């Protein structure tokens, strides 16, 4: 019997998990309770259906849907047929989704008839999609689309043995997915990664964070992103944990589910934990089963890590760092790291991966000085689909992937991500790193969330502007924020403009969309 940790393709992993964990709970989604053995059976049924629909190895099948059990079964089913999963952001509008489908040459789309008032199939009605042959709706009925049950039934024309042969033929180097980049500037690019590298990376991730058999993992990070997919249900398969999909982020509902469903694991961007801490009725919710928190995707304030332990009761809080182009993971803290190290860094490179910080001339900077993070190793993407020029700009001739993130690396190789290169701004010739200023403001306890951007200034070039969400019960004004900043930080870092807001705009991955804030600030500066 193959252990899940030894699997080198996703079909192998699912089969090994079914043998190892059998009748244990693999997925719980409302009334749907799926064991590991049942997951294998359902996935092979999906493989039969995709084969019957004419899907061949290397074909692309897109999934445009929220976190539900059908998403997982469809992904495993199509990947077991040798196809490539193309993930689509549920917040996309019709033209945006159509671009992803068209660019990737998608032949089949799995989506929803309707979700929260969004009619996904209708959004594509007038879009040019020359390669799209079939639309499948997981839930609901839509004219011109095939329902999930009908689609699964169509697979009876393909034998179970043929489905198994297709699954066994998948190789570690075969592409498993195209995950579009966030697309916050320009059109999204499809990041190509393979079965073997993804499993290798998240076997390391699962080991480092301490995910274990019997854990109950509420997955609120979207499945179309590495954090919900690879650090989510894929990691659960590796360790025998129960994946509990959560479709719509709502802090009140998540808190209720944590108590009601005995959740032990939460993984997400810092905003989810900030929202917990800012909730006015936090003490009324049972969070006693929580033991493991993993955060990343954005710079994490040190004070937040401390409060996650002291106020939310997490036994283990680990930070890591990665991006889609490196399978979602590059550095991690370790079990035996000092708590302060875990709180203040994103760890060091995962095994068999190199990480450096470099200057604009590609020279490694001295330890302790900021530089761009570059990554080299098995986890680096195969490239951007049909975009050789952009691939060449991102991965240099020596195999280093340039992340666009700024970090400081200490003498032990631990990195502290300070910001994105594009987020850094220069005030009077001095570099300003928004994350540093955000950390200082958040540490006062006056704010639930803080976001800092640079805005144009005739004299200084750019100056700091802060958007702040007050913590419950805190009376915050722009003048009070500026006054505190003048007393506690260097003058060039002090916000010249402050806006007090009820919430910050975020994308579906939980990252604050600073381009939205820049647009907002620009409109304000040009208003009469």
Using a pLDDT cut of 70, give the percent of the chain over it: 96
Q: Judge if 275 and 190 occupy the same domain.
A: no
Count of beta carbons in the 10 Å neighbourhood of residue 186: 8
Q: Could you tell me the pLDDT band of residue 482, with boundaries at 50, 70 and 90?
A: very high
User: Which one of 328, 362, 388 terminates a domain?
Assistant: 388
Residue 35 resides in a domain: yes
Q: Judge if 190 and 203 occupy the same domain.
A: no
Dump pLDDT digits (tens) for 181-215: 854 345 789 999 999 999 999 999 999 999 999 99
Dump pLDDT digits (tens) for 274-332: 889 999 999 999 999 999 999 865 556 778 888 888 899 998 888 898 989 999 999 99
Query: Where do we find the tokens 């915050």?
Result: 476
Residue 23 resides in a domain: yes
Residue 419 resides in a domain: no
Tokens (6 digits) for 390 = 């952009």
- Please list, residue by residue across 315-349, b when 16 or more beta carbons sit within 10 angstroms of its beta carbon and e when fewer do: ebbbbbbbbbbbbbbbbbbeeebeeebbbbbbbbb
What CATH number is attached to the domain comprising 232?
Answer: 3.40.50.12780
Q: Judge if 104 and 13 occupy the same domain.
A: yes
Q: Judge if 242 and 295 occupy the same domain.
A: yes
Q: Judge if 437 and 473 occupy the same domain.
A: yes
Dump pLDDT digits (tens) for 232-282: 999 999 999 999 999 988 889 999 999 999 999 999 877 788 889 999 999
Q: Judge if 131 and 239 occupy the same domain.
A: no
Q: Judge if 138 and 207 occupy the same domain.
A: no
Quick check: 236 and 26 in contact, CB under 8 A?
yes
Q: Write out the residue range of the structural domain in which residue 484 sits.
A: 425-526
Give me the pLDDT at residue 508, please: 64
What average pLDDT does the segment 480-505 reach?
91
Count of beta carbons in the 10 Å neighbourhood of residue 507: 18
Q: Judge if 126 and 215 occupy the same domain.
A: no
User: Which one of 338, 366, 388 terminates a domain?
Assistant: 388
d(Cα 471, Cα 441) in Å, to the nearest integer?
Answer: 12
d(Cα 46, Cα 44) in Å, to the nearest integer?
Answer: 5
Check whether 152 has a pLDDT greater than 60. yes
Residue 464 resides in a domain: yes
What CATH number is attached to the domain comprising 39?
Answer: 3.40.50.980
Using a pLDDT cut of 90, give the percent of the chain over it: 71
Residue 406 resides in a domain: no
Residue 403 resides in a domain: no
Quick check: 49 and 83 in contact, CB under 8 A?
no
Q: Judge if 242 and 343 occupy the same domain.
A: yes
Q: Judge if 344 and 229 occupy the same domain.
A: yes
Residue 250 resides in a domain: yes
Mean pLDDT, the chain, integer: 91
User: Which one of 160, 194, 228 terminates a domain?
Assistant: 194
What CATH number is attached to the domain comprising 497?
Answer: 3.30.300.30
Q: Judge if 137 and 229 occupy the same domain.
A: no
Give me the pLDDT at residue 272, please: 84
Residue 69 resides in a domain: yes
Domain count, the chain: 3
Q: Judge if 91 and 143 occupy the same domain.
A: yes
Q: Torsion angle, CA of 100/101/106/111, rounded to 10 degrees?
A: 110
């Amino acid at each position: 019997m193959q252990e899940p940790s030894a699997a080198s393709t996703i079909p192998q992993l699912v089969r090994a998990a079914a043998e190892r964990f059998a009748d244990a709970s693999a997925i719980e989604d409302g009334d749907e309770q799926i064991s590991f053995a049942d997951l294998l059976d359902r996935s092979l049924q999906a493989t039969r259906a995709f084969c019957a629909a004419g899907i061949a190895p290397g074909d692309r099948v897109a999934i445009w849907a929220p976190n539900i059990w059908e998403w997982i079964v469809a992904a495993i089913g199509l990947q077991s047929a040798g196809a490539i999963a193309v993930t689509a952001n549920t917040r996309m509008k019709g033209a945006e989704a159509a671009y992803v489908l068209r660019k990737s040459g998608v032949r089949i789309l799995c989506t929803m008839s309707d979700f929260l008032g969004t009619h996904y199939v209708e959004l594509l009605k007038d879009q040019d999609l020359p390669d799209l042959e079939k639309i499948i709706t997981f839930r609901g009925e839509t004219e011109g689309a095939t329902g999930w049950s009908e689609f699964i039934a169509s697979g009876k024309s393909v034998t179970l043995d043929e489905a198994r042969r297709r699954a066994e033929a998948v190789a570690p180097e075969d592409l498993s997915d195209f995950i579009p980049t966030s697309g916050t500037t320009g059109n999204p690019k499809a990041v190509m990664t393979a079965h073997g590298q993804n499993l290798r990376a998240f076997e390391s991730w699962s080991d480092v964070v301490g995910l274990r058999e019997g854990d109950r993992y509420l997955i609120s990070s979207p499945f179309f992103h590495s954090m919900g997919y690879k650090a989510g249900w894929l990691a659960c398969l590796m360790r025998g944990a129960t994946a509990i999909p959560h479709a719509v982020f709502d802090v009140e509902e998540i808190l209720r589910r944590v108590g009601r469903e005995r959740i032990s694991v939460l993984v997400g961007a810092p905003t989810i934990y900030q929202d917990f801490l800012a909730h006015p009725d936090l003490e009324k919710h049972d969070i006693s089963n929580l033991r493991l928190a993993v955060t990343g995707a954005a710079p994490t304030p040190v004070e937040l890590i401390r409060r996650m332990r002291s106020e939310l009761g997490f036994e283990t809080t680990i930070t890591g760092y990665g991006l889609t182009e490196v399978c979602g993971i590059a550095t991690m803290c370790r079990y035996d790291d000092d708590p302060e190290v875990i709180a203040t860094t994103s760890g060091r490179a995962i095994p068999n991966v190199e990480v450096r910080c470099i200057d604009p001339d590609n020279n490694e900077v001295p330890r302790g000085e900021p530089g761009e993070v570059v990554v080299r190793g098995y986890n680096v993407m195969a490239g951007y689909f049909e975009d050789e020029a952009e691939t060449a700009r991102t991965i240099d001739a020596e195999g280093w992937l340039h992340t666009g993130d700024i970090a400081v690396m200490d003498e032990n190789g631990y990195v502290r991500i300070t910001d994105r290169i594009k987020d850094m701004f220069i005030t009077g010739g001095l570099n300003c790193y928004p994350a540093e200023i955000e950390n200082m403001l958040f540490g006062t306890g006056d704010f639930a969330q803080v976001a800092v951007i640079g805005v144009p200034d005739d004299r200084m070039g750019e100056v700091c502007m802060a958007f702040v969400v007050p913590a419950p019960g805190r009376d915050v004004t722009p003048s009070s924020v500026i006054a505190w900043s003048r007393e506690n930080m260097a003058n060039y870092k002090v916000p010249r403009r402050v806006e007090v807001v009820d919430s910050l705009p975020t994308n579906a991955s939980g990252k604050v969309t600073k381009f939205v804030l820049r647009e907002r600030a620009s409109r304000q500066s040009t208003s009469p």
